[in-house]
Amino acid sequence: MKPKEIANLMLEKKALDIKIFDVKKITTMTDHFIICSTDSEPQTKAITVHIEKTMKKMGVKPISIEGQNKLEWVLMDYVSFIVHIFKIDKREFYDLDRLWADAKITSIQDKNEK
């Protein structure tokens, strides 16, 4: 599955401020980070479950999922991409957007939004 397809899964659950970071030229850890923000813990859980179930149907399982106990920052590691689902305040605190600012960054917008 491509990073934009993961971003679309996030959009289906009304994720906010979705960005894809192409980091393959600046780290060996992964090719892409796909980052989004949420308003609430239930929304964080819904996005996490939606991505995990969709990927599982395609026969792809993450090597790990971290943060499901608190739902403030969930990290899903699929090797070639890592999904970060943040509550808004935690995203601001950890500021991965600034830390990985050297990456090629693509912002994803809901086509229905103006």
> Per residue in 3-23, pLDDT tens?
999 999 999 999 999 999 999
Q: What is the pLDDT of residue 65?
A: 97
Q: Could you read off the pLDDT of 42-101 as tens digits, one per residue?
A: 999 999 999 999 999 999 999 999 999 999 999 999 999 999 999 999 999 999 999 999
Q: What is the pLDDT of residue 110?
A: 78
pLDDT surpassing 80 at residue 109:
yes
pLDDT band at 114 (very low <50, low <70, confident <90, very high): very low
- Mark residue 60 as left, alpha or beta (left: phi above 0; alpha: psi -120 to 50; beta: remaining): beta
State both tokens at 60.
């792809």
pTM of the model as a whole: 0.93
Which 3-state string (H, E, C) describes the chain? CCHHHHHHHHHHCCCEEEEEEECCCCCCCCCEEEEEEECCHHHHHHHHHHHHHHHHHCCCCCCEEECCCCCCEEEEECCCEEEEEEEHHHHHHHCHHHHCCCCEEEEECCCCCC
